[in-house]
Each structure stands twice: as C-alpha cells, then as structure tokens.
Structure 1
C-alpha cells in the first residue's frame, strides 16, 4: 500500500513529495499533507540547512515518476531505467515461482540475463528491507538470492563479489547449518529455521546426510547421532513453520472473503481486531496489486478502501499507550522523543515501562533489531522521567 512520503537530498537541494492518486484526497487534504511533511523536515534540520526550496517541494502522484526524477538527478539515463525495470520484473517473476523445479527451469531460461546488475539489484532490495527494520524478511530475500545464484551459471561469482564490496554476510546453506548446530535454545533454533526456510531443501538435507555418512565411516558415532538428531529437529521445525504459514494464510483469506461479502464490514473488523496481522496485510496488498495489474480498477479501489477502513478502525481501538508509542516511533530524533514524553508525563508509569520492555523483547525475537533499538531508547528516556 502506498502512502504519502517526502524525499529530500540536501546536497542536490531536492525536495520531492509523493501523494499517490489511489488515496483519492481532495486538493485541500493533499496540500495539508504536503505542508505537514515539509514542516516535519524543516523542524528536523539545523537552522542553517532550512532553505527556501523546502517550502515548495515538487509533487508526484506515482512512485514511478518520483523514482525517475530521483534517479535522473543521480545521472541515471532512461535506458538504464528500462534495464533496471526489466530486471525488477524478472525478480518478481522468480519470487512468484513457488515450485523448485519451475524456478530451476526459469533460471535456466533467463541465465544470460542474470548478470552482476541483476544480483546487485536483488541485494539492494534485501538490504533496504533490513534497513526498514525487518531483518527476517531481508534475510529471506538474501536466502532466495543464494538459491538463484546457485542455479545460475555465474551467480555465485557475482554474489561473492557483491558481498565482498558491501561487507554483507548473507545466509548460505553452510552458514545456516552451522548456526543451527550452535543455537542456544529452541526459540533461536526455530527463528533460524524460519529465516532460512527457503534454503532448507533437498540439497540442504543431502549435504547434512553426507556429513552423517562421513561421521559413520569415520566411526564417529557421537557426531553421527548428533547430526541425525539435528536433521530430525530441522524437519520437525520446518513442518511446523509450513503448517502455521498455511493455516495463517487460509485464516486471512477466509476473513478477507467475509469482509468483502459483508453488508457492514466495519462490524466484522471490530469483531476480528486481533486477526489483522502481517499475513492479512500481505494478502490484502497482494490482492490490490493483482487487481491493479489485471486492470480491475473497481476491485482494486474497493480493496484499498477496505485497507484504509481497517487501519482507521485499528487506530481508533488502540489503547493510549500504543498510540503514544506509535507517536514516539514516528518522532524522528531523540530530542523529539524527549519532547513527546514530557508532554505525556502523566502516562509514564511503571506499567508503561513494562509495556515498552515487552514490545522491545517481541521485536528482538522477530529480528527487527533497529526498531527494538529505538524502543530501547524510548524506554531509557521514559525511565528517567518516571
């Protein structure tokens, strides 16, 4: 789902605002959003960097036009953009392929196109996702990159070069196997299996079986039994993760169908507030994208309106501490966090500190390290004011 955003490059004195047309805003609302984004940026900058161009940012209605302007400012030509667009479509085609045999055929058919630039784009996508505080999804995409690289003729060479240049440590089958052997507890083991699920395939188990056979040939019974136990744990964890994912998707699909058939969708939303998780949002987003690609604008608009209704209802039902936390997370700086906490000092109780601790722990377990770090900073400041 697209949302308004402001892009700023101080060196090029570039201020660009995206206001997607599918939000169906009035001109007045649109100008309010642009003004609010500009003011937030101005307030976040030191006085000497608050220049006139920031007061009248250039407005765009599609992400494509915004991206082209940003890239043009960086010297990227139309031909280069077309090449990148072709590779992005190919990446999307690969990601939509769920069957391993079909992916293998697809990679073979497009092997000549899987050059350094292809893997560079795929790597950049994964790094961007991780920077946006979703480590697990980013690592999953890196794991997928590794699979494509292994299936292609020169992919592994390109990936090794990219990782050396970026200092990136991606999840490989060998590293995953090593990490699983060293997992401190069951929670860490399950998290590792979830993060590397795309790497746990026939080849992965073949490698592990090879290690077991080698240990048995060497009469190292202890190592062989340890590896056999590890194999059983991985199979069990993979099966549970797959079953949970299928169950979550089936549940989300049933709820979406119910909402679309309901005469009063808001009542359904209120009755199922705890069901609108990442799986549901991902499903709804995928349905909007498919309807848009198929030219079914009415369906896409209806799904988008449903998304906004869900988000609005969820926000209205949020407890005060969650609303405050969202405000703090969007604040942008330690100084802004301090100001917001000062303005809401009456809410800074031991219960609120405990609430922040639970949120931080949950985020760390989900692999969202940067967001957990931000919550930790909020908690640190709040504790000084209790």
Structure 2
C-alpha cells in the first residue's frame, strides 16, 4: 500500500490552517494505481476545507517499481537546503521504503535511487521504462498542437483541407482519441466545441483512419440499437477489424452464451463453401480469445476497485484518500460498493452497512464538489422542483448566461437515447436559463 503522512498547511487563498494527508512513498507493487496517479498528475492534490481552493503540493517523494527495478526520488528545487539535508531526505525516504520490503526482496538498486529535481523529468524516466520515448512524447505534443491549428481553421475549408493533407502522418487513432478527449474537456468546462466537432466530422469523412473509425462506430451503433445474439453475430461477421470485434464483444459480453456459440457452429456446419467455413472457424476461435481477454480485464478492474474500497474502509482519513484518487471513483466502483453493502445486509452487519453507506454518500458529495460550477448548478436544478428554479438562478446570477444554457442542451442531447425524461428536463432547464439570462441583461 502507498505510505501516507500527515502535514500541516496554510491555504494560500483564505490563509486558514488545516491538516491533510500526503503521499511520499509510492510502491507500484503494493498499490497498482500508483503509476496511474503519478502520470495523471493526481498526486498530493489538496483542497482547502474552508474555501475549496485546490492545488498540488510539491513535496519530496519516492516512486518504486520492483518489476522494472526503479527507485526514483523527487526533490523539488524550491525545497532548498544543503547537500547534507538533501542526502538525509533521500536516506529517510529510502529507509521508509526498505522497512516495508521483506529482506529477501531487497536489491542493490534500492540503495542507489535516482534523484530528480522536477516531476517532469521523473515522469519521463517512468515512461522510458515502459518503452515510451521522448520522441513519442514529442509526437503527441505535435498532435495536440495540430488539433488547435485545425480548430482555428474550422471555418476555412481550403486551409483546413491543406493542413489535413500536410499532416496525414499524425492522423492516427491516437490523434482521434486526443481530439475526442479535447471535445469532451471543452464541453465539461462549458466551452463551445462546435469548431472541434466540425473538424472531427471532416476528418472522419476524408482520412483513412477516420473512415475506419467511422465504420467501427457504424457497426457498434447498429448493434446497440438492437443488442441480440443474432445482431452481435452479424456485427462480428460484418468486419475483419479485430478492434471493432473486441468492442462488440465487450458491449455484448452477456450474449456470448451457449446459444450464441451454437448459432455460430450451425453456420459453420451448414456452409458449403470451404473458404467460408475456415473464416467462420477462425472467427469462433478469435471470439473465444477476445472473450477471455475481456473477462480478464473486467476481473482485474473489479479487483482494483475492491482493493481501493478496502483501503478507504481501513484508512484513518478516507475523505483525504478519496480526494487524491477521485478519478478512480466511477460506476464500477459504486457497483462494488453496492455489492459490499448488500453482502453486509445479508450478514446482518449493521455497522458495516452504516459505514459503507456513509462512505458512498461522502464520495457522491466529493464528486459534486469537484465538478465545474456550471455542472454543479445544473445538478442542483435537476434535483430541485421547477418552481424553485428562478430562485436558484437568481442566487447564481453570475453563471446564468447562454453558455450555461448551451451546456444543459448538450447534456440533454447526450441523454436523449438512454433517458428521454432526463433529456426533456435538461432542455427545460436550458429554456429557463435563457429566459433568466435575457431578463438579467435588460
């Protein structure tokens, strides 16, 4: 498990003192999420309990990955101090790590940890151990810059086409993933993403990778509109792209039962074309292999969520731990939490039920707290009676504008296929926001 420490801080915003928990020893072998938190910048992010100000602490830490024999120490430049003091800090962190490793597992590399004075250089070392080179990082940065260039050219067809033609080598699946994440980030923050969506549509139509991804999306949409064993089999037969087949199998995993394989076997046996029989036999083998991979990933995810839940239950400060790892609190985590509550209820463990229920409510509050103010306002309106909307909007007049209304409409559009009632309520909120915004502008 990750080693935690208590520190006393003073908020730079409201100047209130408070105590929080920080991480200084990250051991990937004991905490499989340590690397993900390091790479995502989610380490030692603290929130002032008085004013909500959020920031990342720059404090010494040690990252350990025994599989790759990495022992890396971060000593921030602003820490200052003499060479002796820095060596003492390195020795202290190393000894704390060594104390939790059995003697027979201690190796020489632990006695000579690499020291870094910037988090960026430490992260690059971790990535290099994973085979991610500086050239790969620079290539990703080029893609990010290209997204911004294309966004600026969204309304200039000639310039857009020219830029797309000049940068075909960058337009791979990673680029489309970065573009999708950029659009999602814009919308989550309430920024207009129409230009990026225009670029995305153009790229899907005119580039080889885009056309492949569009075909994949079309296959998935066809299956999801009518998710049956028959439509799953037809979808698998309609493509030779393994990634598309894996997405279909992940989405339709519950349909891969005896009846599905019986139907596929019947197709194989009834085919009179030898080449077609071979194709179907290869498909059956591939489906079973992909199914096993999907199951293994799903089980690994459930195990990780269960470990995280146990860490929260055992932690002396579960809220501080949850704040640092809030990105791990998702639908799967809540499914694991609900399962544990049901098991505690079945066992008659009232104390465990109460604690887990409290924890779930606290995590929901943290998720709400971490959302942008516009999203929090929309959530409040969703929970309130319609007769209370004007009062709420009046109190939050600074957020009442066309951008808020547009955000509510976009959220509604995302819900139209899955929950029409919620979509209609969001559209109603957007209409009310526009009305109030016009009234406030007079």
- Greater RCO (Cα-Cα under 8 Å, separation 6 or more): 1
TM-score for both structures, normalised by structure 2: 0.39
Is the radius of gyration larger for structure 1 or structure 2? 2
Q: Which has the higher strand share?
A: 2
More helix by share: 1
